[in-house]
Structure 1
Amino acid sequence: MPSPYVRRQRLAAEIRKLRESRGLTTDGLARIMFYNRAKISRLENAAVRPDVAEIMNMLNALEITGSQYDKFLKLAHEAAQKGWWDKYGVSMGPRQKLYADLEYNADTVREYNQTLMPAVLQAPEFISALVELDECQGKIDYVPERMADARMRRQRELLRPDGPSYETVLDESLIHRLAVPPEAMIAQLHHMIRVVSEEERITVRVLLHDTRVPGGFLPMSSFYLYAFAEPGDPPIAVLETVTTDVVLTQRGEVERYTGMYDRLRKAALTREDSIAFLERVANRLTDQTGSGT
């Protein structure tokens, strides 16, 4: 199944192009369709899952036929699909659903993680510790067990035989600064080492805290890069903030973050040296705590 989110982006672009080719404003198209302007704007901004029947009505009103009609209808059907992530409801949340959607049909996933271990590589013990941290900030609006189940499902999807190539640059500071119990961090490090060691297409590169990153400014937040095998699906960058995520689809913006990622990757440890580093940290924590985790 193609990514419904990516298909919504493509459908939105095609609707804008079609509207502009007919010399119509958003208000003009809304009047023809007997819709309000907000509905057309949401479609053109890929903000909602499209109603296939409404797309068909739009195509008929604009007298679209033949292969162009078929192309629009195919995009609408794919954009309207639901994925495995939708069954988790609020326990997964819109941010996690977005990531799961993009990961599902990506060819490559590349991440820079500045403040948190990669969600798709988290151990159950570490996820439980994160829930406790979340509860420190106020009442949570999800069922922890369902959230943990959804996150482990994301990991299984990443590791499926036809899953994407995945690489993350991991800032060393988060290993030391995140206030989870040592046992949870030890379990997380061992889990990540095991997954990376067993799967060649999964790579973790550690960016040491005292490493200089030449060539430009440092990133201001964690970010994620997705590329897709189908030529019509554009690459996407997602920037993480405290309350929401910013999705970038413009070529120049995505290329800027791709260049930043390449600089971080070059400055980070190699795959093999990163595994060795994580093993040393896990062993040191084990010695300090006397944990046999």
Structure 2
Amino acid sequence: MTSPFVRRRRLATELRTLREQNGMTADELAGRIYRSRMTVSKLENARCRPDVRDIVKIMKILGVTGEKFDEIFKIACDAADRGWWDSYGDAMGPRQRMYADLESGAASIHEYNQFTIPGVLQTPDFIRFIIEMAEAEGENAFIADRLVEARLRRRAHLLGTDGPHYEVILDEVVVRRPTAPPRVMLAQLRSLIETATRHPYVTLLVLPIAADFTGRLLPKSAFFLFGFKDPADPPLAVVDTVSTDIVHTARDEVMRYNQRYEHLRQAALSGAASLGLLADAAGDLEKRIDSSP
């Protein structure tokens, strides 16, 4: 399916451009469609699911006809669509719903993560441990079983025949530093190796600790680059911070993150060497488990 999130942003741009070309203020347009100015503002800033009937009214008022009318009508229908993630509501959390939405329409996803195993590659036991840690610190308000189920649905889409091309660069620290009980971490490392080996559209690269990054800036946060099938849907860069996700759509911002990703890729190990490092990390962890009392 097409990502409703992406289409809402595209619809917002179309509506704002058309209104301004017609020399009409947001207040004037709101009055013509018998809605509040806030409604128009939310539509033009992609902050709500559109009512297609309102979009049709707006297009008629702004004199949109023919192929342009059909194009925007289709965008509005896509923007108003609901995905499987909407049925999870608060059990899934707004941040994970946004990623599921973006993934649903993506043709390619590139991710850099220097802190943890990517969510869509986490095993059920690893996910449950992370949830337990969040609950212990009072940070988790979600239903564990539903959260795990939703994460696994995202994974199923990613690894399915219709899934996107997915490439992730992990900092070596992510696979070397234990962030879960030893046996859970070992199973997680083995799962990463199996996923990257078995699925042709998944590429896993490791940025080694010894990589020479002199003259370049390491990103301060994990980030994602999303590309979409329709060339009219602009690519996005999403920066993952502690408390929120920052979505960049401006061409120069997206280009900046593309350049940073290319620098990371150039410094990362090859696919084969990355799998070798993962195997070594798993082997080292297994030896520690076997030698522990």
Instruction: Choose 263-272 or 134-143, whichever is displaced more.
Output: 134-143
Aligned to 1:218: 218
Aligned to 1:275: 275
State the 1:213 CA deviation: 2.1
Aligned to 2:100: 100
Q: 2:206 & 2:71 partners in 1: Cα distance? A: 44
Instruction: Choose 229-238 or 214-223, whichever is displaced more.
Output: 214-223
What SS class does the counterpart of residue 224 from structure 1 fall into?
strand
What SS class does the counterpart of residue 169 from structure 2 fall into?
strand
| Letter aligned with residue 103 of structure 2 | E
Instruction: Choose 191-200 or 136-145, whichever is displaced more.
Output: 136-145
Sequence identity percentage: 45
Q: Give the conservation status (yes or no) of the 8 Å contact 1:3–1:101.
A: yes
Instruction: Choose 138-147 or 236-245, whichever is displaced more.
Output: 138-147
Aligned to 1:289: 289
Aligned to 2:230: 230
What SS class does the counterpart of residue 76 from structure 1 fall into?
helix
What SS class does the counterpart of residue 221 from structure 2 fall into?
coil
Q: 1:107 & 1:215 partners in 2: Cα distance? A: 32
Q: Give the conservation status (yes or no) of the 8 Å contact 1:113–1:170.
A: yes
Residue by residue over 1:31-81, the C-alpha shift from the partner in whole angstroms, topping out at 9 and shown as x without a partner, is 322322221111111111111111112122323322222222111101010
Aligned to 2:191: 191
User: Are 1:128 and 2:121 counterparts?
Assistant: no
State the 1:139 CA deviation: 5.3
Aligned to 2:12: 12
State the 1:215 CA deviation: 4.7
Aligned to 1:247: 247
State the 1:116 CA deviation: 1.4
| Letter aligned with residue 88 of structure 1 | Y
Q: Give the conservation status (yes or no) of the 8 Å contact 1:215–1:263.
A: no
Residue by residue over 1:137-178, the C-alpha shift from the partner in whole angstroms, topping out at 9 and shown as x without a partner, is 205211101100111111110111121111000012233445
Q: 1:10 & 1:178 partners in 2: Cα distance? A: 42
Distance 1:178 1:288, change over 3 A: closer
State the 1:184 CA deviation: 1.3
Matches within 5 A, 1:53-202: 53-138=53-138, 140-177=140-177, 179-202=179-202
Q: Give the conservation status (yes or no) of the 8 Å contact 1:235–1:249.
A: yes
Q: 1:268 & 1:155 partners in 2: Cα distance? A: 24
The CA RMSD over aligned residues, in Å, is 1.6
Unaligned runs of 5+ in 2: none
Q: 1:267 & 1:68 partners in 2: Cα distance? A: 45
State the 1:253 CA deviation: 0.5
Q: Give the conservation status (yes or no) of the 8 Å contact 1:133–1:180.
A: no
Q: 2:229 & 2:58 partners in 1: Cα distance? A: 29
| Letter aligned with residue 44 of structure 1 | E
Aligned to 2:205: 205
| Letter aligned with residue 231 of structure 1 | P
Q: 1:199 & 1:86 partners in 2: Cα distance? A: 28
Q: Give the conservation status (yes or no) of the 8 Å contact 1:86–1:97.
A: yes
| Letter aligned with residue 136 of structure 1 | A
State the 1:290 CA deviation: 1.9
| Letter aligned with residue 49 of structure 2 | R
State the 1:125 CA deviation: 1.4
Q: 1:115 & 1:240 partners in 2: Cα distance? A: 11
Instruction: Choose 86-95 or 143-152, whichever is displaced more.
Output: 86-95
TM-score of the superposition, structure 2-length normalised? 0.95
Aligned to 1:52: 52
State the 1:16 CA deviation: 0.8
Q: Give the conservation status (yes or no) of the 8 Å contact 1:214–1:263.
A: no
Q: 2:276 & 2:212 partners in 1: Cα distance? A: 21
When the two structures are aligned, how many residues end up with a matched partner?
Answer: 292
Q: 2:44 & 2:210 partners in 1: Cα distance? A: 45
Q: 2:90 & 2:129 partners in 1: Cα distance? A: 20
Unaligned runs of 5+ in 1: none
State the 1:102 CA deviation: 1.1
What SS class does the counterpart of residue 227 from structure 1 fall into?
strand
Q: Give the conservation status (yes or no) of the 8 Å contact 1:113–1:223.
A: yes
Q: 1:51 & 1:26 partners in 2: Cα distance? A: 17
What SS class does the counterpart of residue 87 from structure 2 fall into?
helix
